[in-house]
């Protein structure tokens, strides 16, 4: 740093202990303080694959999948887990999910294509989205996806037409907007009446949609879907959403003789991004969701539906660590210290888009208590490109490695080539082995689509 550093008031615990809940399950520090994930030293990974680097811990992904299936099937036999591919998708990840018994929620032909390339059984796929095109619906029907989650009237009419042409029955669920406030960021709240997603319930559009769908000769309506928003650090909105949708299901049974067989409470299960805000365990969600469904079905005399959950961020978020190198530092007296790294908003748009908060760690000093405060800035040409504001860190030299934990979800998935940055490499680590699952982009890749 150029002059006097900003002294930190942070507690002096070792970062490896302090960040235990945000780092992957296999995270450890050597005696010298170098972070390792899946038995691989981040120094070695940076040397071999360069930075910025996205490191995914296979063990954490598998353990998370197992706890979801154990917790939900323990309380709701017949339940299924569909990973929300929008959080991050690759063939390598798909192979793990298939082995762990997960299905998938996709929202585009692109996600469908990659899911199938990774070996996902189309029957285990639900196709979502409020803007599915004719081409995408044809693609989904051609592949034989298990369910299409119909979002609106226009899609219903189009799907009716396409299934009549094929004379083949397609299972669908109707996505309903229940009018429940999930109390999360405005840009990630989706269950309110004024939402672009789903058939609004209070206005009667959900009922009209169901009646139309029941009249379509080749549509089999298995049930209803809601997704309230994300991340939901409180489990209460699920109970509210389920009670609302069960009232609706009971009315539809009474008025139209329709009985649901399946129900999805969507995704939105939270992730611990910072040490001071812990996400509920999978079992807390399972308990709340199971209780709410049992209560509602008992009180209305409804059959218990099979439940399909759709967690995304909570499946892969903790497994992922973004690794950067320091490229420059600046001390502004009586103001702030900046540490600029070799990535930023092109690989992690979340802080700029949602004011998302993260922890940052000096990845080679995991046993050194932080002594100062510095803001980790990205390298992109926007003032808003700040990854972590006022992080507690030890002094960092040029070239030092900075790790940002809880980076596995909605980062690579939302990446861009802004400033024509090269998209980072991705490695999957396990038992001391690192497998490159996506190579870093090259300068020639930037010209590959240009004519
Ligand atoms: C319909 C639907 N299901 C599931 C998810 C996954 O949410 P999360 O990644 O927070 O679990 C989303 C996220 O936008 C969604 O729109």
What is the architecture, at CATH level 2, of domain 89-316? Alpha-Beta Barrel (3.20)
Q: Nearest C-alpha to atom 9 of ligand 1 is from which residue?
A: 312
Strand 401-404 and strand 320-332: the pairing is antiparallel
HEC profile of the chain: CCCCCCECCCCCCCHHHHCCCCCCCCCEECCCCCEEECCEEHHHHHHHHCCCEEEEEHHHHHHHHHHHHHHHHHHCCCCEEEEEHHHCCCHHHHHHHHHCCCEEEECCHHHHHHHHHCCCCHHHEEECCCCCCHHHHHHHHHHCCCEEEECCHHHHHHHHHHHHHHCCCEEEEEEEECCCCCCCCHHHECCCCCCCCCEECCCCHHHHHHHHHHHCCCEEEEEEECCCECCECCCHHHHHHHHHHHHHHHHHHHHHCCCCCEEEEECCECCCCECCECCCCHHHHHHHHHHHHHHHHHHHCCCCCEEEECCCHHHHCCCEEEEEEEEEEEEECCCEEEEEECCCCCCCCHHHHHCCCCCCEECCCCCCCCCEEEEEECCCCCCCCEEEEEEEECCCCCCCEEEECCCCCCCHHHCCCHHHCCCCEEEEEECCEEEEEECCCCHHHHHCCCC
Closest CA to 377 of 352, 354, 353: 352
Distance 105 CA to ligand 1 centre (A): 9
Enter the tokens of residue 217: 């000769």
Q: What percent of the chain has pLDDT over 90?
A: 91
Structure tokens at 330: 């600046």
pLDDT beyond 70 at 231: yes
Is residue 143 among the annotated active site residues?
Answer: no
247-269 average pLDDT score: 97
Task: Give the CA count within 13 Å in the CB-facing half-sphere of 47.
Answer: 5
pLDDT band at 5 (very low <50, low <70, confident <90, very high): very low
- Which CATH number is correct for 15-58+318-442, 1.20.1250.20, 2.40.37.10, 1.10.580.10, 3.40.50.970? 2.40.37.10
The neighbour count for residue 295, using CB atoms within 10 Å, is 14
The response to whether residue 173 sits with its C-beta less than 6 Å from ligand 1 reads: no
393-413 mean pLDDT:
98
Backbone angles phi, psi at 354, to 5 degrees: -125, 10
- The alpha carbon of 86 and the centre of ligand 1 are apart by a number of angstroms equal to 8
Nearest to 421 by CA among 347, 370, 348: 347
Angle at 44 between CA 38 and CA 47, to 5 degrees: 135
- Per-residue pLDDT reduced to its tens digit, 176-192: 998 887 666 666 566 66
- The phi, psi pair for 3, rounded to 5°, reads -130, -145
pLDDT the model gives residue 194: 75
pLDDT at 306: 97
* Res 155 pLDDT > 50: yes
Q: Is 230 in the pocket of ligand 1 (CB under 6 A)?
A: yes
With 0-12 CB in 10 A as exposed, 13-18 as middle and 19+ as buried, what is 398? Answer: exposed
With CA atoms as reference, report the closest residue to 111 among 82, 88, 133. 88
Give the pLDDT confidence score for residue 179 in this predicted structure. 84
Q: How remote is the CA of residue 229 from the centroid of ligand 1, in Å?
A: 7
Give the number of residues written for the chain. 451
Single pTM value for the model: 0.95
CA of 227 to the centre of ligand 1 (A): 7
Which token pair is 22? 């945000």
Ligand 1 contact, 269 CB (< 6 A): yes
Q: What tens digit of pLDDT does each residue of 87-112 get?
A: 999 999 999 999 999 999 999 999 99
Nearest-CA residue for ligand 1 atom 10 is 268
Average model confidence (pLDDT) for the chain?
94
* Angstrom distance (rounded) from CA 293 to CA 177: 17
Is residue 152 pLDDT above 90, yes or no? yes
Residue 274 has pLDDT above 50, yes or no: yes
Q: Where are the domains of the chain?
A: 15-58+318-442, 89-316
Contact call for residues 300 and 246 (beta carbons, < 8 A): yes
| Closest by Cα among 222, 89, 86, 225 to 152 | 225
Residue to probe by mutation, ligand 1, list 185, 224, 230, most atoms within 8 Å of CB: 230
Retrieve residue 96's tokens: 């793990």
**Residue with CA closest to ligand 1 atom 16:** 227
């Amino acid at each position: 740093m150029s002059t006097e550093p900003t002294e930190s008031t942070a507690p002096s615990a070792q970062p490896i202990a302090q960040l235990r809940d945000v780092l992957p399950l296999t995270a450890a520090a050597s005696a010298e303080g170098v972070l390792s994930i899946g038995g691989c030293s981040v120094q070695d990974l940076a040397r071999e694959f360069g930075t910025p680097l996205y490191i995914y811990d296979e063990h954490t992904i598998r353990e998370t999948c197992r706890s979801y299936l154990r917790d939900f099937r323990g309380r709701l036999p017949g339940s299924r887990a569909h990973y929300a591919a929008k959080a991050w998708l690759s063939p390598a990840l798909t192979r793990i999910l298939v082995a762990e018994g997960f299905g998938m929620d996709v929202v585009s032909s692109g996600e469908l294509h990659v899911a199938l390339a990774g070996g996902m059984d189309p029957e285990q796929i639900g196709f979502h989205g409020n803007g599915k095109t004719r081409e995408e619906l044809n693609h989904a029907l051609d592949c034989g996806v298990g369910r299409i989650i119909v979002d609106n009237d226009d899609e219903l009419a189009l799907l009716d037409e396409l299934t009549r042409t094929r004379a083949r029955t397609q299972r669908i669920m109707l996505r309903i907007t229940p009018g429940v406030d999930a109390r999360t960021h405005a840009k990630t709240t989706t269950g309110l009446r004024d939402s672009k997603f789903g058939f609004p319930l209070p206005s009667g559009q959900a009922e009209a949609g169901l009646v139309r769908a029941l009249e379509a000769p080749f549509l089999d309506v298995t049930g209803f879907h809601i997704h309230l928003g994300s991340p939901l650090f409180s489990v209460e909105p699920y109970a509210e959403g389920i009670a609302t949708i069960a009232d609706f299901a009971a009315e539809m049974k009474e008025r139209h003789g329709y009985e649901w067989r399946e129900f999805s409470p969507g995704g939105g299960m939270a992730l611990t991004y910072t040490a001071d805000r812990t996400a509920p365990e999978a079992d807390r969600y399972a308990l709340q969701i199971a209780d709410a469904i049992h209560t509602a079905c008992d009180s209305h005399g409804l059959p218990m539906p099979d439940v399909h959950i759709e967690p995304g961020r909570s499946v892969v978020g903790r497994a992922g660590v973004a690794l950067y190198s320091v490229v420059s530092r600046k001390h502004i007296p009586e103001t702030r210290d900046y540490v600029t790294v070799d990535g930023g908003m092109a690989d992690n748009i979340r802080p700029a888009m949602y004011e998302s908060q993260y922890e940052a760690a000096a990845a080679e000093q995991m046993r050194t208590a932080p002594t100062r405060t510095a803001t980790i800035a990205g390298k992109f040409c926007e003032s808003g490109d700040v990854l972590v504001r006022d992080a507690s860190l030890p002094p960092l030299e040029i070239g030092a490695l900075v790790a940002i934990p809880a980076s596995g979800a909605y980062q690579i998935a939302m990446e861009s080539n802004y400033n024509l940055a090269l998209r980072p490499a991705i490695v999957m680590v396990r038992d001391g082995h690192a497998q490159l699952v996506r190579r870093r982009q090259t300068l020639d890749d930037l010209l590959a689509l240009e004519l």
